[in-house]
């Protein structure tokens, strides 16, 4: 009997948690930004699973599409600047026992060669499959048959952004529309438009304002980015169904704010949609 082991690669982009049979990898922070005098930053990796896990660390390049999906690329799009030539990181791999944590240092180099603008690449953490947990060979009576064993290989990436020069970024929320069928959840559509020389990153918050002025939060999304060179991102989100909410009366207030510990952060962009 022939045994064929196939590796299937699954890459999660821009999310803080990686789950696999070899353990859970928690990464903080989720983004690395070099925009001042600091030349070294640290990532904390923690294995929250029950198995020892090994991860290879590398740098990859990613394109953001207008619908928010991502593609791995090797050449920059027009107006896109890769940060990889200006970064050094160590170690190149980590092995974490259950509950163990380790720091990965990211260093900014060759700063004298940086031009004004924004550079972006992504640090990629790829799980290395443990041969011991790839599955036992399947015993078949027919020795001429073939057994295929699939082993998923998980990976996660986080952005590393270098910013030089005077910051310039504005946001507008446009093309707002609501789908509110009678017997199904309501969905809000919008386009987040970016201008300037920097990416934008923030939280979307949706408040329902009744005709009497009562405000109820009906939706929120954390960490919505529009990366350079993209000038817009299409976005749809599901709204909550709560008592007293009538998506055919009142209005929706849509806000896009920078992540902040403030109770009421100032929005980068805000608009309203009258409901009918």
How many residues are present in the chain? 276
19-23, 24-28, 128-132: least confident range: 19-23
Name the band, by pLDDT with cuts 50, 70 and 90, for residue 12: low
Give the C-alpha distances (Å, rounded to integers) separating 101 from 25, 51, 139, 221. Answer: 9, 13, 39, 28
Q: What percent of the chain has pLDDT over 70?
A: 82
Mean pLDDT on 173-197: 95
Q: What is the mean pLDDT of the chain?
A: 86
So where are the chain's domains? Answer: 2-164, 169-274
Q: Give 261 or 241, the one with higher predicted confidence.
A: 241
pLDDT tens digits, one per residue of 141-159: 555 555 555 556 678 899 9
| Nearest to 227, CA basis, from 33, 26, 18, 25 | 33
Q: What percent of the chain has pLDDT over 90?
A: 70
Decide if 2-164 and 169-274 have a common fold: yes
**What does pTM read for this prediction?**
0.83
Which pairs from 132-137 meet CB under 8 Å and 24+ separation? 133/21, 133/22, 133/51, 134/5, 137/1, 137/3
pLDDT tens digits, one per residue of 243-254: 989 999 999 999
Q: Give 244 or 193, the one with higher predicted confidence.
A: 193
Fold of 2-164: Immunoglobulin-like (2.60.40)
Fold of 169-274: Immunoglobulin-like (2.60.40)
């Amino acid at each position: 009997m022939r045994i064929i082991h196939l590796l299937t690669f699954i890459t999660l982009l821009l999310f803080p948690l990686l789950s696999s049979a070899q353990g859970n990898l928690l990464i903080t922070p989720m983004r690395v930004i070099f925009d001042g005098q600091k030349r070294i930053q640290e990532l904390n990796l923690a294995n929250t699973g029950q198995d020892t896990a090994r991860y290879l660390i590398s740098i990859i390049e990613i394109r953001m599409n207008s619908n928010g999906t991502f593609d791995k690329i090797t050449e920059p799009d027009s107006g896109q600047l890769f940060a990889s030539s200006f970064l050094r990181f160590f170690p190149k791999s980590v092995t974490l026992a259950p509950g163990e944590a380790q720091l990965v240092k990211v260093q900014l180099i060759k700063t004298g060669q940086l031009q004004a603008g924004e550079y972006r690449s992504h640090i990629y953490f790829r799980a290395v499959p443990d041969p011991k947990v790839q599955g036992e060979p399947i015993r078949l009576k027919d020795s001429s048959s073939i057994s295929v064993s699939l082993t998923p290989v998980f990976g996660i990436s986080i952005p590393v952004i270098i910013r030089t020069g005077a910051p310039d970024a504005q946001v507008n929320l446009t093309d707002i529309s609501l789908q509110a069928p009678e017997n199904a959840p309501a969905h809000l559509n919008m386009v987040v438009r970016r201008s300037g020389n920097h990416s934008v990153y923030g939280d979307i918050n949706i408040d329902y304002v009744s005709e009497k002025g009562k405000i109820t939060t009906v939706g929120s999304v954390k960490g919505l980015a529009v990366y350079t060179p993209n000038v817009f991102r299409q976005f749809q989100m599901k709204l909550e169904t709560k008592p007293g909410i009538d998506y055919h009366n009142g209005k929706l207030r849509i806000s896009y704010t920078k992540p902040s510990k403030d109770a009421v952060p100032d929005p980068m962009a805000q608009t309203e949609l009258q409901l009918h």
